[in-house]
A and B are shown apart, each in its own frame.
Chain A
Amino acid sequence: MNIAVCIKQVPATESKIRPSADGKDIDRTGLSFVVNPYDEFGLEEALKIKEQVGKGTVTVISIGEDKTIEALRTCLAVGADQAIHIKDPALSGSDTHAIALVLTAALQKENYDIIFFGKQAIDNDSGAVGIHVAELMNLPHVAVINKLEVSPDDKKAVAHRQIEGGTEVINIDLPAIFTCQKELNVPRYASLPGIMKAKQKPMTIYSLNDLNIATDAVGAEKAMITLDQLSPPEKRTAGTALEGNAGEAVTALVRLLHEEAKIF
């Protein structure tokens, strides 16, 4: 089984995120960056499948600036076999379409049986790239999976995805794309031997030219949709503290819910 995991480097979950002074981006000073947590579920699933099948290669792929190599290296330390880093100054400001186009070009250089994405990157929370790549590669996909059973011999899989009030169980032919949700597995940690070996594992770097993509096919100029303004969310303010003993507080609450909030 050859498996690709597309990852993105994002600010750590617990980061305090503020808009930059011009409101066009976030303020990146002092932020620490990690592998997008949902992508980690993809990597773990890939490693589990490789162990289950007993052979194959797990390749991690990411688009980003020089710093992205840290995230790729972390994935190698966790257990991926090789990494592909796509970087090109022309990519700056690209929209989902361009990112999907570039990833597709990189993914089509090899034959992968399964391609994993996170269900969304926790920076822009869009959740579109994996699905978009599936369409461009003409592959079936299941988004937001929380369970996966792969039958490597007949190239099929069964995926579960949570929907409102239940779970969809989907039969799918491989090769296929999956985007991963939290419950799928428990990602392993990088190990010390893994960390020591990470630098020796293959790291391929592609520019747009290497992928036969014109620099003017991507980037901010080509974006159909762009970020116009970032702002902090409107702050809620503390409302009424209901005093007194439990009975009094509850009576006051019920009255407010009834009269002010008009809930019942």
Chain B
Amino acid sequence: MGQILVFSEQRDGKLKRVAFEALGAARQLASQTNATVAAIIVGKNIASEAETLSKKGADKVFVIDDPGFAHYSSEAYGTIIADIAKKEDTSLILMGATAMGKDLGPKVAAKLGGPFAGDCIKLECDAEGKITATRPMYGGKIISIVRSHTNKYQVATLRPNVFSVNEADENKKTVFENIDTLPDLSEMKAVVKEILSSANTKIDLTEADIIVSGGRGLKAPEHFALIEALAETLGAAVGASRAAVDAGWKPHSYQVGLTGKTVSPSLYIACGISGAIQHQAGMSSSKYIVAINKDPNAPIFKIANYGIVGDLFEIVPLLTEAIKTIKNEE
């Protein structure tokens, strides 16, 4: 098997958790096939993060530390990765199925003419390095297993919060290589002009370890304050059901479900959400699900680990207080 390349996504000079998850997956596959694992990091002022990639299992790290490449560009990043891949025998290229990875993965696959598997939740490979990937389809109503028929330039994006991260190895021997032959930025026909940060999303849903979501049961937009208070206490992100988004209580960026985001946190607390199949499509892979709803027949209870049938206006504040107490004791 040729090398496994891991594109290590960073934002503002900090590697994302999913970069380590991809590295973990690569290491796992490499251990079965004796492949080398090489990470790629692109950005500005990222030298220390390159070190971290070493400790987390990269045999080699390609570093592109250049202010011109601080912002994502599909064309520029795609060219960089394809060029690195072509320098050596490359079997597989991994990255997170984030906003960036969902764009970059197909781009790299197209440039290299390799097969693409998006949003994988499980990844295996045979002795030659041909991958078999498990990925949801039909909005999670179907789980598919796809098989690659080549071991050259396979590209896969990995769903965040699914793959595990390697323990750090302080003594890992890693080769660092700075790439200085870079694409000509003046030729780029699509350029990021600016990034508007959304003040209201402190923690992004897809990356969050805990999510507290509100739905129609909240009855009015101002009652989202209850959800936000609980989320704050837990250090969680806030989500919303389609009903709440369609009612205009929260923007679409909060929506969990079929036409919104797919999330896999450790804990998902659904408050006043009935849990229609469309909502479940976005959150049923959460590790633990808590449902709070006044309708005992709400479908959400069928998939919840812990369910409370009752009035969320009474229960959610009590829960917030109880958790606060515990956190203070700690």
| Any A–B CB pair closer than 8 Å | yes
Residues of A within 8 A of B (CB): 11, 13-14, 16-17, 19, 26, 37, 95-97, 100, 122-129, 131-132, 134-136, 139-144, 146, 158, 161-173, 176, 182-183, 223-234, 236-242, 246-247, 249-251, 253-254, 256-258, 261, 263-264
Question: A122–B139 contact, CB under 8 A?
Answer: yes
Q: Which residues of A contact B107 (CB under 8 A)?
A: 131, 134-135
Task: Judge whether B195 is part of the interface by a CB distance below 8 angstroms.
Answer: yes
Q: Which 5 A/B pairs are nearest by Cβ-Cβ distance?
A: A135-B110, A225-B115, A128-B106, A140-B189, A224-B115
Q: Which residues of B contact A97 (CB under 8 A)?
A: 110, 113, 115
Q: How near does chain B come to A9, taking the closest CB pair, in angstroms? A: 14
Question: B144–A230 contact, CB under 8 A?
Answer: yes
Q: Which of A169, A228, A239 contacts B307 (CB 8 A)?
A: A239
Stretch at the interface among B51-59, B165-173, B204-212: B204-212
Question: A17–B195 contact, CB under 8 A?
Answer: no
Question: B143–A168 contact, CB under 8 A?
Answer: no
Question: A142–B144 contact, CB under 8 A?
Answer: no
- Once the chains are docked, how many angstroms separate the CA of A97 from the CA of B227? 44
Known: A131-B74, A225-B116. A143 touches B191 (CB 8 A): no
Known: A17-B142, A236-B284. A257 touches B193 (CB 8 A): no
- Once the chains are docked, how many angstroms separate the CA of A108 from the CA of B232? 52
Instruction: Tell me the nearest residue of chain B to A100, going by C-beta.
Output: B110
Q: How near does chain A come to B143, taking the closest CB pair, in angstroms? A: 5
For the complex with contacts A14-B278, A223-B149, 6 further pairs of A-B residues with Cβ separation under 8 Å are: A97-B110, A171-B191, A225-B148, A227-B144, A236-B303, A238-B303
- Once the chains are docked, how many angstroms separate the CA of A146 from the CA of B198? 14
Q: What string of 1s and 0s marks CB contacts (under 8 Å) between B106-140 and chain A?
A: 11011101111111000000000000100111111
Q: What string of 1s and 0s marks CB contacts (under 8 Å) between B185-215 and chain A?
A: 0001111111111100100101100100000
Q: What string of 1s and 0s marks CB contacts (under 8 Å) between B84-118 and chain A?
A: 00000000000000111011011101110111111
Known: A122-B139, A128-B106. A247 touches B318 (CB 8 A): yes
Question: A125–B138 contact, CB under 8 A?
Answer: yes
Instruction: Tell me the nearest residue of chain B to A249, going by C-beta.
Output: B308
Question: A142–B146 contact, CB under 8 A?
Answer: no
Q: Which of A129, A228, A249 contacts B147 (CB 8 A)?
A: A228
Q: How near does chain A come to B316, taking the closest CB pair, in angstroms? A: 9
Main secondary structure, interface of B, reads mixed
Q: Which residues of B contact A123 (CB under 8 A)?
A: 137-138
Question: A165–B201 contact, CB under 8 A?
Answer: yes
Q: What string of 1s and 0s marks CB contacts (under 8 Å) between B22-42 and chain A?
A: 000000000000000000000
Question: A132–B142 contact, CB under 8 A?
Answer: no
Task: Judge whether B259 is part of the interface by a CB distance below 8 angstroms.
Answer: yes
- Once the chains are docked, how many angstroms separate the CA of A162 from the CA of B252? 10
- Once the chains are docked, how many angstroms separate the CA of A232 from the CA of B138? 10
Question: A13–B306 contact, CB under 8 A?
Answer: no
A-B contact pairs, 8 of them (CB 8 A): A13-B139, A122-B258, A163-B99, A165-B11, A225-B115, A227-B144, A231-B144, A238-B304
Q: How near does chain B come to A107, taking the closest CB pair, in angstroms? A: 15
Q: How near does chain A come to B134, taking the closest CB pair, in angstroms? A: 9
Q: How near does chain B come to A106, taking the closest CB pair, in angstroms? A: 17
Question: B308–A250 contact, CB under 8 A?
Answer: yes
Question: B141–A233 contact, CB under 8 A?
Answer: yes
Task: Judge whether B266 is part of the interface by a CB distance below 8 angstroms.
Answer: yes
Question: A230–B142 contact, CB under 8 A?
Answer: yes
Q: Which of A129, A168, A247 has the most CB of B within 10 A?
A: A168
Q: Which of A163, A172, A227 contacts B146 (CB 8 A)?
A: A227
Question: A128–B149 contact, CB under 8 A?
Answer: no
Question: B143–A169 contact, CB under 8 A?
Answer: no
Question: B142–A224 contact, CB under 8 A?
Answer: no
Question: B117–A225 contact, CB under 8 A?
Answer: yes
Question: A169–B110 contact, CB under 8 A?
Answer: no
Question: B306–A253 contact, CB under 8 A?
Answer: yes
